[in-house]
A and B are shown apart, each in its own frame.
Chain A
Amino acid sequence: MQHKRLRDFLRDPVVRVVLTVLAMFVGLALLAPYLAPADPLTLNMRNRFQPPSTQHWLGTDEVGRDVLSRLLFGAQISLSVGFISTGIGFGIGGALGLLAAYFRRLDDVIMRLMDILLAIPTVLLAIAIIAALGPGLYNLMIAVGLGSVPSFARLMRSSAIRLTGIEYVDAARALGARDLSVLWRAVLPNALPPVLIYATLSLGSAILSAAILNFLGLGLDPTVPEWGAMAAAGRNYLRQAPHITFVPSVTIFIVVLCLNLLGDKLRDYLDPRSK
């Protein structure tokens, strides 16, 4: 039954297209140093605002850098920020949610703290954190990651709390297993599916949030090739060279769309009732 559903999932045409596109982006990111036709940082003021052509497939930007090369190197940054910050949110939020569900004495403390952070909209929370930490790649990852901690914590708690009264968890306890071992072996694997779906969806949001922070000029140095920062750089030249803004914007759109579609399909697969 499990195998048949997994096969159906992988045979779904939408899943196939989405996974292919995402794999392609990951491949392009990894191979960026070999595939990029030009150096993403080299300025060439005589070559500014070139529209897409055979020489520069996606044109050049406001200081004459090759947009395709910047896009490829940008994939490395945007995807790694997406993965690592989702990992931070998933790790910290998941652990807090699990502890809150299992140790009832911690529940109130942790969840009231999360309620307070949830009172601040996610993007604003990330903005507030990066305002405090200052710009930089790691701070960007931390800000976006911490911004998603409350949602992960809340979801993991609600998913895990259903399991705390269930027989196999009680049985593990009665057999003398230690709390951490019960949490790790009995509660976590069964509480994970909805949190994994959320993680897929939140990968898209993390890429978006990072792009927004960079667009606002709060994340990375503007010379670093990152999709949001690239879109922001073209903003003042929208009339004469719209491709500088639209190429990275459309790329973000495609990647986030694929991740959202994958999350939707994963939900149908792991929780057929939601279909």
Chain B
Amino acid sequence: MTTFILKRLMMIVPVALGVATFTFFILFLTPGDPATIIAGPDAPAAVVDEIRTSLGLDQPVYVQYARYLGQLLTFDLGQSIISKRPVAGEISRNLPNTFELLLLTMLLTVLVSLPLGVIAALRRGSWVDTVSMTTALVGITMPVFAMGLGLIWLFGFQLRWFPIGGRGGPIWTAEGLSHAVLPAITLASSSIGSLARLTRSSMLEVLGEEYVRTARAKGLAQRLVVYKHALRNAALPLITILGLQFGFLLGGAVVTETVFSWPGMGRMMIQAILRKDFPVVQGNVLVFALSFVMINLIVDLVYALVNPRVRYG
């Protein structure tokens, strides 16, 4: 197991380096001169030159690249053009809010999609199956922003059950939770759909296996057969999918946070793009991508932990 973990850890080094390289070169693709953008359109040439020199933008690309990587090693993501504050500090202020939302979303996804998928598989072809799979398909297809705005309209404006935006504090407080409910449902709607469909097909496959038939033949209760024998095995591929879904959720978080004015990284990134605050955009893309890489690493390790065939294979 230790070798597996070490091997897997080593694999993220080139990916992390690649992602860092990609985010560095984003700035180079950008039309316009960063120094002019920072100085503003009316700044005299001398000021622009001074900014260019102070940021090292007059140096050759490889020097700038090396310095960028060096800075990353010390968690220095540069400085925001707008607020003049360090990007790392701004991200660390917003990152917990995004993770809080993602955590609630993941919890909601698992709690709803597993029973939905299992029931659909057990009553294959019945109305329960049709209704749950149709709901799942609607969840996958509905644009995230449409789902969010629909929920705001219904539960915020018409029924007045939940606040329509902002963060009300930590999610374990009543105020915080009431603010997080609609964004979490919005974000979870698409992943609930995918996971429920996968749970159904994975369960159907496992229910046909001989060990399930054996468990049934020896007279075990249906509940035991389903939850102890079938679901445990059907859950294996779902762990991997849950990890991949996380990446999808990161993308969805950008939209959800914007719709609900949730003070997280996604909203921060969109505001930064609209204000042309490139160091903040770079820092956000990097942190988003690296969190996805880390989550997939954790998923792989969990998968190896519950499935011995991976460890010894």
Taking Cβ atoms with an 8 Å cutoff, the residues of A that contact B are 112-113, 115-117, 119-124, 127-129, 131-134, 204, 208, 211-212, 215-218, 228, 231-232, 235, 238-239, 242, 245-246, 249-250, 252-253, 256-257, 260-261
Stretch at the interface among B59-67, B111-119, B141-149: B141-149
Contact: A253 with B248, CB < 8 Å?
A: no
Contact: A238 with B18, CB < 8 Å?
A: no
Q: How far is the CB of B36 from chain A (nearest CB, A)?
A: 14
User: Can you list, as one digit per residue, whether each of B4-27 has a CB less than 8 Å from chain A (1) or not (0)?
Assistant: 000000000011001101110011
Q: How far is the CB of A262 from chain B (nearest CB, A)?
A: 12
Contact: B137 with A249, CB < 8 Å?
A: no
CA distance A168 to B146 in the complex (A): 50
Q: How far is the CB of B50 from chain A (nearest CB, A)?
A: 25
**Given A122-B251, A134-B31, does the pair A257, B137 have CB atoms closer than 8 Å?**
yes
**Given A128-B285, A216-B255, A216-B258, does the pair A119, B19 have CB atoms closer than 8 Å?**
yes
Contact: B270 with A257, CB < 8 Å?
A: no
User: Can you list, as one digit per residue, whether each of B21-59 has a CB less than 8 Å from chain A (1) or not (0)?
Assistant: 111001101110000000000000000000000000000
With contacts A115-B15, A216-B270, A257-B138 known, what are 14 further pairs, Cβ within 8 A?
A112-B18, A117-B22, A119-B292, A120-B285, A121-B289, A128-B26, A131-B281, A132-B27, A132-B30, A215-B143, A231-B143, A235-B259, A249-B143, A253-B141
Determine chain B's interface SS by DSSP, over half rule.
helix
- CB-defined A-B contacts under 8 Å, sample of 5: A119-B293, A128-B281, A215-B143, A218-B274, A245-B146
From B18, B138, B146, B273, contact of A116 by CB (8 A)? B18
Say if the beta carbon of B157 comes within 8 Å of chain A.
yes
Contact: A253 with B149, CB < 8 Å?
A: no
Contact: A120 with B292, CB < 8 Å?
A: yes
Say if the beta carbon of B70 comes within 8 Å of chain A.
no
Taking Cβ atoms with an 8 Å cutoff, the residues of B that contact A are 14-15, 18-19, 21-23, 26-27, 29-31, 137-138, 140-146, 149-150, 152-153, 157, 247-248, 250-252, 254-255, 258-259, 269-270, 273-274, 278, 281, 285, 288-289, 292-293
From B146, B251, B270, contact of A253 by CB (8 A)? B146
**Given A124-B254, A260-B140, does the pair A112, B14 have CB atoms closer than 8 Å?**
yes
**Given A127-B254, A204-B141, does the pair A249, B292 have CB atoms closer than 8 Å?**
no
Determine chain A's interface SS by DSSP, over half rule.
helix
From A116, A235, A242, A256, contact of B15 by CB (8 A)? A116
Contacts of A252 in B (CB 8 A): 143, 146
Contacts of A116 in B (CB 8 A): 14-15, 18-19, 21-22
Contacts of A232 in B (CB 8 A): 145
Q: How far is the CB of B30 from chain A (nearest CB, A)?
A: 5
CA distance A124 to B152 in the complex (A): 24
CA distance A232 to B288 in the complex (A): 24
Contact: B141 with A257, CB < 8 Å?
A: yes
Contact: B145 with A124, CB < 8 Å?
A: no
Contacts of A245 in B (CB 8 A): 146, 149
Contacts of B30 in A (CB 8 A): 131-134
Contacts of B138 in A (CB 8 A): 253, 257
Q: How far is the CB of B267 from chain A (nearest CB, A)?
A: 10
Contact: A121 with B292, CB < 8 Å?
A: yes
**Given A124-B254, A208-B143, does the pair A132, B137 have CB atoms closer than 8 Å?**
no
**Given A216-B254, A242-B153, does the pair A119, B18 have CB atoms closer than 8 Å?**
yes
**Given A117-B22, A120-B19, does the pair A256, B292 have CB atoms closer than 8 Å?**
no
From A216, A231, A257, contact of B146 by CB (8 A)? A231
CA distance A155 to B239 in the complex (A): 21
**Given A121-B251, A245-B149, does the pair A113, B143 have CB atoms closer than 8 Å?**
no
Contact: B144 with A212, CB < 8 Å?
A: yes
Contacts of B27 in A (CB 8 A): 132
Contacts of A216 in B (CB 8 A): 254-255, 258, 270
Contact: A238 with B143, CB < 8 Å?
A: no
Contacts of B248 in A (CB 8 A): 121-122
Contact: A218 with B14, CB < 8 Å?
A: no
CA distance A163 to B292 in the complex (A): 32
Contacts of B26 in A (CB 8 A): 128-129, 131-132
Contacts of A117 in B (CB 8 A): 22
CA distance A249 to B146 in the complex (A): 6
CA distance A211 to B146 in the complex (A): 10
CA distance A228 to B15 in the complex (A): 33
CA distance A199 to B138 in the complex (A): 20
CA distance A120 to B18 in the complex (A): 11
**Given A133-B29, A231-B145, does the pair A123, B251 have CB atoms closer than 8 Å?**
yes
CA distance A113 to B145 in the complex (A): 31
Q: How far is the CB of B308 from chain A (nearest CB, A)?
A: 26
